[in-house]
A and B are shown apart, each in its own frame.
Chain A
Amino acid sequence: MRIVIAEDAAVLRDGMSHVLTLRGHEVAAAVATADDLLTAVAEHRPDVAIADIRMPPTHTDEGLRAAITIRRDHPETGVLVFSQYIETRYAADLLAGGAQKVGYLLKDRVADVGDFIDALTRVAAGGTVLDPDVVTQMFAVTRRADGLRDLTDREHDVLALMAEGRSNTAIAEQLSLAGTSVEKHITRIFSKLRLEATTSSHRRVLAVLHYLRS
C-alpha cells in the first residue's frame, strides 16, 4: 500500500513510518500538519491516508477536517483517523459522507501492529473500521433511539460488529454463530430499523449510520 501519514508527534510519526516500511508498505510522505497532509495527498494519491485528529495550530480537530476534505476531493483515497479519545461527534462527522473507505480508531490501536495494518488494508479496500470504543459509545446513544430499542442483545452484538466493518463470515466467527443465523439476525435488524430493501451493502451502511446519527 502507498500511505501518507499526518501526525504531529515526531516520535510516533517516525515510528509508524518505520513499522509500515518494515512490513513492505510505501510511506510516500510523513507530515506534521493538516495542510501538509492535504498537499501530500494531492501529490502522491495514496491508497490510504492516516491522520491524527489533534494537530497544530489549534490542537482541536484539524485532522478530522482534513480527513473530511480528503474524502470529498479524493474519494479514491481511504482515510484512517486516529485520536487520543473517542468522541462520537467526530465519528458521526467523519461518516456523514458515507461509510466507505474510512476508519476511526483510538490511537492506542497502533500498538497491535497486525490489527493496525489489517485496519489500514480494510480501509484501503473500501471497508469501514470503527474502534470498539466508538461502537460501545454508539450503543449508549442508540439503545434509546426508536427501533434500536427493540433489538435483542445478540442483534446488538451483530450490529456492533457490522459497525466495525466486519463481513458476515467474520461476524459469525467472532460470535461463534452459523453464517445463516448471522444473516437472519441482520435481516431482523434491518426490519426493526425499518430499512427498506435495496442493496444489502447499502443497508448495512445505513444501519451503522442509523446509530451514529441518533
Chain B
Amino acid sequence: MRRLSYSLIGLPLGLLGLLYVAVTVLAGSVLSLTAIGLPFLAAGVRGARLLGRLHHGLARRLLGVTSIGPAPPRRSSGFTDWVKVGLTDRAGWQAVVYLILKAPIGLLAAAISIFFYGYGLAALSYPVWWRFIPAQPDKTGVPRSGLPLPGDIFLDTWTLALLASVVGAAMLLAGPMVLQVVLSLDRLAIAGLLGPGTLRDRVRELEQTRAFAVQDSAAALRRIERDLHDGAQARLVAMAMNLGAAKEQLDQSGADPKALELVDYAHRDAKEALVELRNLARGIHPPILDNGLDDALATLVARSRVPVDLTVSLTERPAQAVESIAYYCVAELLTNVAKHSRADRAAISVDQRDGALHLRVADHGQGGAEPRGGLAGLAERVRTVDGRLAISSPAGGPTIVTVELPCAS
C-alpha cells in the first residue's frame, strides 16, 4: 500500500521536478550570459537540493530507504560565496539529475500501479457488476450483455466472469512484484544521487565538524577562564580585602575577640578559595597562552623543577586548539621528566615545518616510559587534531617524546 501511494504521489511530483529543472536550470544556463544568470542558477541548484530532500524523505517514509541525505552545503559568507557554494554543490547537481530521471520512472511506476491495481481490482470484482452493464450489439447486431473485449468477445457468461475475476486476482498479486522492479530503479537512483555521497565526502565532513568542535571547545574554555578572572576572582579578591580591612579594624578597636576570630577565619577561607580558584582557572586555560605559545612555554619551563633547554621557532601562530594541546603536552611531559626520569636536564624544541607543529621533549634519564596513563591520555588528546605522538624510551634512556600537530590554516 505504501509503495502504491509512493508511486501515485511520485507521478505529479516527478513531473513537477522535471518542469522545475527545465525552467530553472535551462533558464539559468541561458541567463548565465547576463549578471543574474549565475545567482539564478545557484538558487536553482539549491532548490533542486530541497526537492531532492523531499523525494528522499518520501522514499524513507514509504519505501523504507534507510540512507541519510547528503550533508548540508558549506555555510557561505557573503553573496558571492553563496553563489559559488550553490554552483559547486555536488549534492545539488546530483539532485538535478535525479529530478530528470524521476520523471520517466515516476510515470512508469504510476502507469504500472494504475494498470495492475486499477484493472486488477475491476477484473476481480467483475462477477459482481457485469450484470449491470447495458447490452450492446455485437458485429452481427445481436444485443449482448457484459464487457466487450477486442476481437468481438463479450464476457457475458458466469464462467467468463469468474475467469476475469481469476485474472484480476492474478494481476493484483503480480502488481506489487512488477511495481517492485520499477521502484528498485528508483531506489537505485536515490541511493546513487540523493544518498550521503561518497565515503570521502563523509570523511571530509566529519573532519570539518570535528575541527569545529575542537576549536569551539578551546574557545569556550578560554571564555570561561576570562569570565572567572573578570567575575568571581575579582569579587573574591575584593571580598578578601574587605575582610582583611575589617580584621585590622576590629583588632585595633579592641572588639570582641570572638568576632575577630570569626572574621579571621572568613579572611583565611577567602584567601584559600582564591588559591583554589586560581589553580582551577589555570587548569582550564593558562592565560599566558593568549600571549603566544613561546611565552607560555617559557613560563612553563621557568616553573619546572628540572632545568630545561628550550628552543622555540614559530613562523606563524597556530590555531588556539593546537596551541593549547601543545602547551598541555609540554606541561605533562615535563612533569613526567621530573617525576619518573631521574634526569637532571631536559631539552624541549618546538618548530614548524611541512604544515605541522613539531614538539620534541628529550631527557637523558633512566628511560622505560610506557604509553600508559598520562601518556596515553596525551596521545588521545593529540589525535583529536589528527596529530601523532611517538615515544622512544629504551630502558636506561634516553627518553624522547615527539609530538606532531597539523596546523595548516
Contacts and interface: CB of A to CB of B under 8 A. Distances in A.
B241 A19 contact: yes
Contacts of B242: 15, 19
Contact of B245 (A9, A89, A113): A113
Given A9-B230, A15-B242, A111 B270 contact: yes
A88 interface: yes
A85 B248 contact: no
B384 interface: no
Interface string A133-163: 0000100110110000000000000000000
A54 B241 contact: no
A108 interface: yes
A114 B246 CA distance: 11
Contacts of B248: 113-114
A61 B237 contact: no
B302 A137 contact: yes
> Is chain A's binding surface mostly helix, strand, loop or mixed?
helix
B282 A85 contact: yes
Nearest to A136: B303
A58 B290 contact: yes
A9 B267 CA distance: 20
B238 A11 contact: yes
A114 B243 CA distance: 12
A12 B237 contact: yes
A161 to B, nearest CB: 20
A111 B291 contact: no
Nearest to B234: A9
A58 B270 CA distance: 28
Given A11-B238, A12-B234, A59-B287, A111 B274 contact: yes
B47 interface: no
Interface string B365-391: 000000000000000000000000000
Contact of A12 (B238, B270, B298): B238
A108 B240 contact: yes
Interface in A1-22: 8-9, 11-12, 14-16, 19, 22
B302 A88 contact: yes
Contacts of A11: 234-235, 238
Nearest to A141: B302
B238 A89 contact: no
A112 B302 contact: no
A61 to B, nearest CB: 6
A206 to B, nearest CB: 20
Nearest to B307: A144
Given A87-B288, A108-B275, A140 B245 contact: no
A61 B234 contact: no
B167 to A, nearest CB: 85
Interface string B258-281: 000000000100110011001001
Contacts of B299: 87-89
Interface string B191-228: 00000000000000000000000000000000000100
Contacts of A176: none
A111 B237 contact: yes
A196 B274 CA distance: 43
B245 A19 contact: yes
Given A84-B287, A88-B299, A54 B229 contact: yes
A15 B241 contact: yes
A110 interface: yes
A107 interface: yes
A60 interface: yes
A9 B234 CA distance: 6
Contacts of A89: 288, 295, 298-299, 302
A140 B305 CA distance: 6
Nearest to B268: A111
Contacts of B281: 84
A108 B302 contact: no
A107 B281 CA distance: 14
Nearest to B286: A85
A111 B243 contact: yes
Interface in B127-141: none
A111 B288 contact: no
B237 A107 contact: yes
Contacts of B233: 84, 107
B229 A84 contact: yes
Q: Which of A58, A111, A144 has the most CB of B within 10 A?
A: A111
Interface string B340-377: 00000000000000000000000000000000000000
A141 B298 CA distance: 11
A58 to B, nearest CB: 7
Q: Taking each of B233, B237, B275, B290, which has the highest tally of chain A beta carbons within 10 Å of its own beta carbon?
A: B237
Given A59-B287, A88-B299, A113-B248, A108 B271 contact: yes
- Going nearest first, the 9 A-B pairs with the smallest beta carbon separation are A9-B234, A111-B240, A15-B238, A144-B307, A88-B302, A113-B244, A12-B234, A12-B238, A11-B238
Interface of B: 226, 229-230, 233-235, 237-238, 240-245, 248, 267, 270-271, 274-275, 278, 281-282, 286-288, 290-291, 295, 298-299, 302-305, 307
20 contacts: A9-B235, A11-B234, A22-B245, A61-B291, A84-B229, A85-B282, A89-B288, A89-B298, A108-B240, A108-B274, A108-B275, A110-B237, A110-B241, A111-B267, A111-B270, A112-B244, A113-B241, A113-B244, A113-B245, A114-B244
